[in-house]
Amino acid sequence: MIIDNFEEIKNNLYPVIIVGSGPAGISLALKLEKQKINCLILEAGKEKYDHQSQQFYEGIVIGDSITNLKHSRLRQLGGTSGHWGGWCKPMDRYNIESWGLDYNEISEYSDETCDILSLKNNFSKSQLNNYFNQIQFQYSKVRFAKKFLGIIQKSKYISLVTNAHVSHFIGDNGVVKSVSVKINEKDYSLKSKIFVSSCGGVENSRILLWTKELNNNLINKDIPIGNYWMTHPWIIGGIGVIKKKKLRKLLKDKFIDHDGPLHIATSSNIVSEKKILSGAIYMNATEDNKIYKEVIKDLLCTSPEYGKKIAKKLFDKDLKCGNIFMNLEEEANRNNRITLHKNIKDKNGIPITQLFYKKSPKTLFSAKTIMQEFGKFLINKDIGRIALKKEIENLENYENLGVHHHMGGTRMGDDLTKSVVDKNLKVHEIKNLYVAGSSVFKSSGYSNPTYTIVQLSLRLSNEIKKKIS
């Protein structure tokens, strides 16, 4: 149900209040509905993009530059899924297991996750060698507002209020009693049994930091809210050519034969043996004709015989040729952190976000190692050739092409001096406050985050069901 006149229902008691209606919040609400549990979603934005609402996402970044925080998320119904790319893939088992979670605890939600994201649950993986796998992404076209608005409208269990700006949670002695929210310029304090913050990979930290500041006796001061913030560096690692037929021959029936891009990812072996972070190599589905010529010209100068072979392959249309993009894991560094700005506040009087962010030297080293090892594999099997970007080869720099994934800040763990939520996503030492979204990721892996966000939200609904019953 969409609530137009909040005054009429302001005294209703909802057992669960969810803050935010992005993929994390809506997935949780949909699963609670299946379990016949009522919830109220408080969404700050409107049903469509609204410039005024977006202003609340203003933030300041100190350190290395990243995509403007106002542009890399959307404050509206459906959240940032309103303009996401839709690349989806479960995180690798070895990435999840470092979180203290059993992989099966989230993989059991794969079918439901695919239903929500309108995907085939088909993420093949085939081993190239000890260090690399060919992997498969699926591409979701789901905009959460568009797909689920009608369902929410008709729902008996989900109630939604838009234009409802949550400021903070109120409580003491380990219990949240209410949430403070401004709806149509009026302030309310709403009670519930369970509260979930699902406001995205920056706002979850901001709301909890503000909650800590306004409540003397609710959140343990040692809990590192805002710390260990991460993104996925998305960079060009170099250029190269790969012979598709030969790759197919090598992988036999395990070759992931589809018309999409070519995706190769690190295995756990290279990560542990070379002491690097995980990452993936991506080559476009369509050949880049301009780069073709450049690569061939270079090859003819440095290695004329090989250059001729490659030129011939061009006519056979057998080459994957072009820029080699990389999506990389980023180190979880305690100093990369979200804080509240000391002087600047938004229109509702909440301090804006101040993010300290420095690129990690380990990510640079990992990018170089991955490219080098992949290059060696191509030479050994005579499948292709690649060239590293100079800045990466010399360990000088990598250029982030876009920073759109926001992870960490309310990370998962057992130790309350190094984490904010436990593995059930409950804030340490608080009985009834949960966090959903990529802010709970303990490490980033290399896979895009939303698939895992949805899995975790579905799992959270079971935790909430247990708690309520």
Ligand X SMILES: Cc1cc2nc3c(=O)[nH]c(=O)nc-3n(C[C@H](O)[C@H](O)[C@H](O)COP(=O)(O)OP(=O)(O)OC[C@H]3O[C@@H](n4cnc5c(N)ncnc54)[C@H](O)[C@@H]3O)c2cc1C
Options 339, 450, 455, 461; binder of ligand X; rule CB under 6 A: 450
Name residues contacting ligand X, limited to 328-367 (CB under 6 A).
none
Residue 187 neighbours by CB distance under 10 Å: 11
| Strand, coil or helix: 349 | coil
Please, which residue, 23 or 224, has the CB nearer to ligand X?
Answer: 23
Options 76, 231, 363, 443; binder of ligand X; rule CB under 6 A: 76
The DSSP call for residue 75 is -
Please, which residue, 247 or 350, has the CB nearer to ligand X?
Answer: 350
- What track of x and - describes contact with ligand X for positions 178 through 207 (by CB under 6 A)? --------------------xxx--x---x
- What track of x and - describes contact with ligand X for positions 14 through 33 (by CB under 6 A)? -----xxxxxxx--------
Residue 87 CB, nearest approach to ligand X (Å): 3
Options 148, 244, 449, 461; binder of ligand X; rule CB under 6 A: 449
Options 448, 458, 459, 461; binder of ligand X; rule CB under 6 A: 448
* CA atoms of 290 and 262, how far apart (whole Å): 19
Q: Are strands 337-345 and 279-283 parallel, antiparallel or unpaired?
A: unpaired
**To which residue do tokens 């509260």 refer?**
195
Name residues contacting ligand X, limited to 210-269 (CB under 6 A).
none
CA-angle at 400, arms to 394 and 404, nearest 5°: 155
Distant-in-sequence, close-in-space partners of 34: CB < 8 Å, separation ≥ 6:
none
Residue 404 CB, nearest approach to ligand X (Å): 3
Query: Please, is 198 exposed, middle or buried when counting C-beta atoms within 10 Å of its C-beta (0-12, 13-18, 19+)?
Result: buried
Only one of the segments 69-77, 120-128, 393-401, 415-423 lies at the binding site for ligand X (rule: CB under 6 A); that segment is: 69-77
User: Is 202 within 8 Å of 340 (Cβ atoms)?
Assistant: no
Please, which residue, 106 or 319, has the CB nearer to ligand X?
Answer: 106
Number of residues that bind ligand X (CB under 6 A): 40
User: Is 17 within 8 Å of 180 (Cβ atoms)?
Assistant: no
Residue 80 CB, nearest approach to ligand X (Å): 3
CA dihedral for 109, 113, 119, 124, sign (positive or negative) = negative
* CA atoms of 220 and 139, how far apart (whole Å): 41
Name residues contacting ligand X, limited to 87-106 (CB under 6 A).
87-88
For ligand X, the binding residues (CB under 6 A) are: 19-25, 42-45, 72-73, 75-76, 79-81, 83-88, 164-166, 198-200, 203, 207, 404-405, 437-438, 448-450, 453
